[in-house]
Structures are given as C-alpha cells and as structure tokens.
Amino acid sequence: MISDDKITEFSQNKKINIKGNLFSLEKPVVMGILNITDDSFFDGGSYNTLDKALVRAENIINEGAEIIDIGACSTRPGAKLVEKEEEIQRLVPVVKEIRKRYPNIIISIDTVWADVVKAVADCGADIINDISGGQFDSNLFDEVAKQKLPYILMHTNTTPDRMQKEIHYDNLYLDMCKYFSEKINILKDKGVMDIILDLGFGFGKTLEMNYELLARQKEFSLFRLPILTGISRKSMIYRPLNLTPQDVISETMFLHALALGNGADILRVHDVKTTVNCLKLYEKFKVEGLKFNESGCGANFKI
C-alpha cells in the first residue's frame, strides 16, 4: 500500500477546463443524479418525462449540487444497454431545456456512444461520463476529443449484463492501474486532457473488492487526476445490512465521509442536500486543523 507521505509527492490537477472556463475541485463538489430511465436501481421511472426531469433538475440545483449527471440508460448489474437512437431521443429535450433554464449549471451526460456525445454536445452538455472506458464504441474517444469535453473514465470489466458474472483480477489494484494508465495515454494522444477517474464501485467487483477500493482510493492519486466516487445507495451498502436502496441514506453518508477522507473530489449522489451538508462538516473538520490518520480515513476498514 502506498503511504500518505508517498502520495503527497504527486501534484494533482484540481481544475478541469469546461468550455474555456476553469472549474476548481480544490474543494470537493456534489454531482446530483438525474436518471431519465424506467429501470434504474433506485429511482427508475421517477423522472422519465420532461416535466418530471425538470423538477428533479431544479431540486438538484437548489439543494447545492454544482454538477447534474443525466443518464438515459440504466447501468445497474444485469441491465442491457439502450440503443443510441433511443438514448438521444430521451436526452436531447432534457439537456436543451436544462441548459436554457440554468445556463451556469454544469451538465454531465452518462453515455457510452459517440453519436450521443455529439448530440448532447450540440445542445449544451459539458462533461461526458462513460461507464465503459471506451470499450463499447470505438469512436467514443475520438468524438470526446472532437467536442473538447472533459471525460470521466470509469473502470469496468465488461458490459453491465455480464460484469458481475465475469469477475477476475490477478491483482485488483495493479490491474486497475494498468487499465487507467493505458486508457489515459490513449485519451491524451487523441487530445483529451481533462480526465476524471471513477473506480467503478459495483462494476465487476465483489463486495470485498468495493471496500478494498474505498479504503485504497487515495492511492489512485498517483495519476494526478481528480477522482469521482459513485457509491450512493449501492448494493455494497444495503446488501451486507439486509436492507434496500431506499433504506440506506445515513449509511451512504457514512461511506461518503470515508470517501472524502480518502481523496474523493466529486461525490455522485442521489441525496444532494444531505451530501452537501456532509461536505460542509468535512470542510469544517479540515479548517479546524484536524486530519485523518496516516493511512487515510478508514484505510483499514474491512467487511
């Protein structure tokens, strides 16, 4: 395990370029989830019309999120990918209207398709959030580069319908570092310079692997890139407790606190207001001169 002393040698890039404006991640920020799907694991069907989506967007903004992440395809384990044409039909009206009503909000789009990237870029999207790492569409990286958009690079082993059936790593941490290193080099060669890492909690990982990654998240700062943590209400939280996604808001906040202590720059969440309050307390904790232990917050936590 890399020590904190070793980690501090790395000078992380805490700013991303969004259409010519530098967006700072010197302090962690909240990304609010807007699922316009029928089958997402937590709120599928709740925001699948334009009017419902706009109400959700307004709430996300009013509760303090700085980024809205809009997805039109469920990527829960076992889900099948939506065709790109259907994804575009779902996304474009929502993105256009949110951009019109809220010109300053940062809009992230959850997609794996190059054609979707082009369509949403044309109507105001700012960031591409890709769960596939460019594995499902060979043109995706090129389109992201062409549109000059920041890119969230997530680790996954295969498609959502197979990812929990094909879990194998020689060494989880080293295998993921190899994956990220190769993808980052390809992206930069194509001209994508603003990259955010997502460890892909729940994507092709066992329960134990998810907690190992949460404990070791700070070690991925060796890439000198911002880190997004997406664990909100996921099965790694509710299954060990024999609960449901609806039952685990306080448990999610507990793990968000651990994620912040272990290097998270962006928290991707369902519960915006509660997470914003969690962030305020985290910043208070830092201002008072306190610090996490030498291995990070919860680095020895096991389940």
- To the query of whether residue 162 is one of the catalytic residues in this protein, the response is no
Of 76, 183, 216, 268, catalytic: 268
Structural element, H or E, at residue 144: helix 140-147
Q: Closest Cα to residue 129, out of 176, 71, 89?
A: 71
Number of CB atoms found within 10 A of residue 100's CB: 10
- To the query of whether residue 268 is one of the catalytic residues in this protein, the response is yes
271, amino acid identity:
D
Q: Where are the beta strands (DSSP E) in 40-175?
A: 67-71, 106-110, 127-130, 151-154
Q: 92 φ, ψ to 5°?
A: -55, -50
Q: 5 φ, ψ to 5°?
A: -60, -40
Asked if residue 185 lies in contact with residue 153, where contact means CB atoms within 8 angstroms, the answer is: no
Q: Closest Cα to residue 198, out of 243, 151, 233?
A: 151
Of 100, 178, 234, 239, catalytic: 234
DSSP 8-class letter at 247: G
Q: Degrees (nearest 5) of the Cα angle 76, 278, 34?
A: 35
Q: Closest Cα to residue 37, out of 27, 29, 47, 28?
A: 47
Q: Where are the beta strands (DSSP E) in 76-187?
A: 106-110, 127-130, 151-154
Q: Closest Cα to residue 186, out of 221, 151, 234, 228?
A: 151
Catalytic residue numbers read 234, 268
